[in-house]
Amino acid sequence: MARVSLIDENNHPELSELIAKIRGARGRLLNIYRMLLHSPPLAAAWLDFNSTVRYQTEVDGQSRELAVMRVAILNGVEYILRAHGPAYALKEGLTQSQVDALADWASSAVFSEKQRALLAYVDAVTRDIEVPDAGFAEVRKYYSERQTVELTMLIGAYNMLTRVLKALKIDPEPKREGE
């Protein structure tokens, strides 16, 4: 159960404009935003930042979703895994076998060399912060300087998000009909 209440939009008409913006971008008012709405400036800033690191970069969708889900696995955050596995990863062309193998990707044969370089990079950035030169060189074989900066920002953003979700024990959304 969440350590902070989740904002009920019916009790906060003063937030209606921001809530409409969130719904327009995310399709519904997710629990992460219901928590963040305790601080409307943070909710608005996170919406803009998260939208940028996810959708306004040159990083391909499969790489993006592998990075997001691997961070969630490393930080033990079901909220992100539940949302990104079915809703985004599969739609970006990852297979269910790849999603299932992410927890132990290093011993799996379902990932390409590019994906393996990315996953090793995510592990280094998330676990150690310090990225060994060899790991950095490997990721640079597949990603431009711009994409490397964008991937690193994405990994950092989801490390922050997963830590907030875990610290505040924000529950995943209930599954909607048909999911």
The pLDDT value given to residue 176: 59
- Least confident among 21-35, 38-52, 98-112, 162-176: 162-176
The pLDDT value given to residue 173: 83
- The model carries a pTM of 0.93
In the block, which residue shows the tokens 């519904």? 28
pLDDT class of 94 with cuts at 50, 70, 90: very high
Could you tell me the end-to-end alpha-carbon distance of the chain, in angstroms, rounded to an integer?
22
CB-CB neighbours of 37 under 10 Å:
21
pLDDT class of 177 with cuts at 50, 70, 90: low
122 touches 102 (CB < 8 A): no
The pLDDT value given to residue 64: 97
Per the model's pLDDT, the better-predicted residue between 44 and 176 turns out to be 44
